[in-house]
Amino acid sequence: MLSEKGWKFRDGDSFQQIPCGLQGQGGKWGFGVRCARFFTSSDELETSSNLWMQPHSSCSVGIKILSLMAHGFSSEWETPINSQSSGLQILTCADCFHSLFPSQMMKFAWDNYKQYALGKNELRPLTKNGHIGNMFGGLRGATVIDALDTLYIMELEEEFQEAKQWVEKSFDLNVVFKSKALELGEKLLPAFNTPTGIPRGVINLGSGMSWSWGWASAGSSILAEFGTLHLEFLHLSELSGNPVFAEKVMNIRRVLSRVEKPQGLYPNFLSPVTGSWVQHHVSIGGLGDSFYEYLIKSWLMSDKKDSEAKKMYDDALEAIEKHLVKKSAGGLTYIAEWRGGILDHKMGHLACFSGGMIALGAEHAAEERRQRHMELAAEITSTCHESYTRSDTKLGPEAFRFDAGSEAMATRLSERYYILRPEVVESYMYLWRLTHDPKYRHWGWEVVQALEKHCRVEAGFSGIRDVYTTTPSHDNMQQSFFLAETLKYLYLLFCEDDVLSLEDWVFNTEAHPLPINHTDFKAAAQP
């Protein structure tokens, strides 16, 4: 098929190999397919959506062309290439194509955000306009910030440059990235001006005034908020040489070390005035979740030198195992919530990150704990998978329960929605990286297909209001974390392990990678 004029794709053609480095207009490379059957050793996918094949160092796939669509090429569907500089790759594995698909989804999500909502915090894909909201302290452009590293990791260079230029010119904090990060960190510092040094939950970045969330009990601060600063603030001190950021988060740790912990557990609400717990509500899901994640990741980011963080994590997980981990009548392992000693037998979607966290901690645990924790991680991740497979859309609800004869299903109307959350695929990614059990990639591919079928709309991706109907209504919101986390974790699930290796990087709670402080790696990581 290779000739002086290049590759020719015709309806009905089949290939076991495809060219890499295709040259199109303006140096854009790839080829367009309107309707094709992509086949691999284990499955096939038929798609009627426009797919732009992106290059990747390890990507090749069998393809049968059903109908072609030109992207700036001739009407004869010829794709000109330079036969000297291009090459061929033989089909080697199913997962090469699977890693391409989240990249295409990312491009689709970004392109529509850029067209309809650039500069706003999030895209409303049904009405094709932007949303600002009140969740980002008055800042705008949250999707740009969240998307930056995902675009870079996926090698979407043109789109990354678009995002970078917007940050340079329009990110309103009145040099890119490093100086902006330091400026933002400095603007957050007034929130720590409390009697205990525990920051309040909300800050006006213009005036520096801070306050607690109106719904938080007795003006309390939230464990998952003040406990999820450690990675970023330590990194800011390293970048700037200014110890103030590290000092702020180390003080938080001192306060938490002093306060009495009921049954060894950390409740979700702490007074920034007295340093005492306000309510004895414990959750590994919303309000508590990422505090625990940051304990083990602080130890890892320190190249396993922060022994205090490791002990806090080990002690917390021991209490969680003793008091919160339960097994349903049907044999499903879950982590319940705790309200003053009374268990609430439910898990939120947010709690499904814990399978990945426990697996990550188990990888570095003593032998007697390693096997037990890896089994626990796999069981929790399997339970979260069940919450997906038991729905009509194969997407999981916001919360699922283990009572009244129901298991791993939402029993309340207010918990049946799905807002493009990442926690389940996050755990799939970690379990794949640490076990290489192929079921995690299979489960991840099920999520890709469900997202495409039920959440993709004309101008982006939208959450759905009910996962238990095959014709769900959409909520008209493309969350910024969908680009930062969900698509990134899906992409990494199908990549080789050396793409953001867990030996060299930790992911913060929004899936943004931070370097592990190896003595030789730190220097190599400098731009």
Partnered with residue 63 across adjacent β-strands are: 15, 38
Specify the residue for token string 């044999």: 331
Q: Which of 438, 421, 401 is nearest to 350 (CA)?
A: 421
What lies within 8 Å, CB to CB, of 440 at 6+ separation is: 381, 428, 429, 431, 432, 493
Burial-class residue 172 by CB neighbours within 10 Å (0-12, 13-18, 19+): exposed
Q: Which of 400, 408, 410 lies closest to 329 in space, CA to CA?
A: 408
Determine whether the annotation assigns residue 509 to a binding site: yes
- Rounded Cα distance, 260 and 229, in Å: 22
Question: Which residues form the catalytic set?
Answer: 398
Query: Considering Cα of 295, then 297, then 302, then 305, what sign does the dihedral take?
Result: positive
Q: For residue 40, give every residue at least 6 positions away whose Cβ sits within 8 Å of its Cβ, in sequence order, or none.
A: 61, 62, 91, 93, 94, 97
Spatial distance between the Cα atoms of 122 and 478, rounded to a whole number of angstroms = 6
**Count of C-beta atoms within a 10 Å radius of residue 418:** 25
Provide the pairing of β-strand 78-79 with 62-68. Answer: unpaired
Structure tokens at 360: 């990550």
User: How crowded is residue 459: how many other Cβ atoms within 10 Å of its Cβ?
Assistant: 22
As a whole number of angstroms, the distance between CA 236 and CA 491 comes to 28
Cα distance between residue 314 and residue 177, in whole Å: 34
CB of 468 within 8 A of CB of 416? yes
231 phi/psi in degrees, rounded to 5: -60, -50
Burial class, 290, CB count within 10 angstroms (exposed 0-12 / middle 13-18 / buried 19+): buried
The CA distance from 424 to 355, in Å, is 8
Write out 373-421 in H/E/C secondary structure: HHHHHHHHHHHHHHHHHCCCCCCCCCEEECCCCCCCECCCHHHCCECCC
DSSP per-residue string spanning 190-227: GGG-SSSSPPPSEE-TTT--EE--TTSGGGPEEHHHHT
Residue 187 CB neighbour total at 10 angstroms: 18
Annotated binding site: 509
Name the binding residues for Ca(2+).
509
